Amino acid sequence: MADASVDGARRVLVAADKFKGSLTAVEVAERVTAGLRRVAPDVTVEALPVADGGDGTVAAAVAAGFERREVRVAGPLGAEVTAAFALRDGTAVVEMAEASGLQRLPAGVLAPLTASTYGSGELLRAALDAGARTIVFGVGGSATTDGGAGMLSALGARFLDAEGEPVPPGGGGLAALASADLSGLDPRLAGVELVLASDVDNPLTGPKGAPAVYGPQKGASPDDVAALDAALGRFVKVLEGAVGARAAEYAAAPGAGAAGGIGYGALLLGARFRPGIEVMLDVLGFGPAVERAGLVITGEGSLDEQTLHGKAPAGVAAAARAAGKEVVAVCGRLALPAQELGRAGIRRAYPLTDVEPDVAVCIAEAGPILERVAERIARDFLN
């Protein structure tokens, strides 16, 4: 068995993402810790909940010591919501899903054509007001497909129809776009390092673009997808007239299609695109934490093919392997063969379904079952 020891003291780093729909990343760390200690009471556990830029990103930053700040902003349909961002030492972590995520829609309501990112722009403005010099903008889980037009509007841009009136909110409204003016953008943006943190690298439009790939998840019908793709294409064309060739270049750039195209709006603001988990590991202080650890436990709700493409467990495993540390993973369900896990740097995965084969029970009782899974890890690696 592996010996998770550092300077004679056994130390485990729990750096897992949420189990979506069951446990937050903080709760995953708490349950794993409880299970480990039941078998190995003397183990030292350091919890570092992680996220890849999507929902849960602000919570992970707060768990790592950032200050939680709350502000009232527009939700995806315009009604005010209370959204949070995280702040520490001039660095703000802003999560677009806090303002413009699917969870901000009324129950049972989807609005693929009209949902707006205006509130995300208000969140960015609040981070500027708080004195942020670096803004990590985590994007994912959006209700929107507006190319970031709403966000840009909240920051001072103007998007007008042929009559000189503001176009309606949402991606659908961009079909009426006749002119764009970015000259009124908040001047403070020029002095801030803006990092676009996402786990997807899709372009804005086309067969791999935001409407085609992610629109159906937001309620878009095939006709809606076609309409949104055409509207975003018009958005780019009009912006070319306003800011030049870079408007089209950014539309084709990796990350432009993230979170309904808000990645495109962020690139127009001068953001630098980086894989979300890499950014968050830097921000959360993963490097020093992994050096202190002998064993790293990562995970998420489902370990599957998507995990290997920029999701949190793959990023944690890669960074831990680079530091020479052993990595195991916990998950709700496992859909990767052992060799794929090994290539990703994960020695072994422990799904909840190994303890409780009934998936419905795993979802309903994820916490207690995860503790039992952690007991198994302790017996395998800490005894």
pLDDT, averaged in runs of 10, over the chain (383 residues): 46 96 95 97 96 92 97 98 98 98 94 98 98 97 97 98 98 98 97 95 97 97 98 98 97 97 98 96 96 97 91 96 96 95 96 96 97 97 90
pLDDT score recorded for residue 309: 85
Question: In degrees rounded to 5, what are phi and psi of residue 43?
Answer: -70, 145
The domain limits of the chain are 5-48+285-381, 57-277
For residue 158, the tally of other CB atoms under 10 A from its CB is 17
- Integer-rounded Cα Rg, in Å, for the chain is 21
pLDDT score recorded for residue 210: 97
H or E element that contains 273: strand 272-275
pLDDT score recorded for residue 6: 39
pLDDT score recorded for residue 8: 31
Q: Could you check whether 5-48+285-381 and 57-277 share the same CATH topology?
A: no
**Sign of the dihedral defined by the CA atoms of residues 271, 274, 277, 278, in that order:** negative
Query: Which residue is listed with tokens 């953001």?
Result: 271
**Distance between CA atoms of residues 163 and 136, nearest Å:** 37
**Distance between CA atoms of residues 319 and 378, nearest Å:** 22
Q: Which two tokens stand for residue 126?
A: 């609040």
CATH class held by domain 57-277 = alpha beta
Query: Which residue is listed with tokens 């603001």?
Result: 269
pLDDT score recorded for residue 155: 98
Q: Which among 119, 133, 49 is positioned nearest to 83, based on CA atoms?
A: 119
pLDDT score recorded for residue 9: 43
What pTM value is reported for the model?
0.93
**Distance between CA atoms of residues 147 and 207, nearest Å:** 16
Read off the amino acid at residue 260. Answer: G
Give Cβ neighbours of residue 6 (< 8 Å, ≥ 6 apart). 292, 293, 294
Query: What fold does the segment set 5-48+285-381 form as a domain?
Result: Rossmann fold (3.40.50)
- Report helix, strand or coil for 326: strand
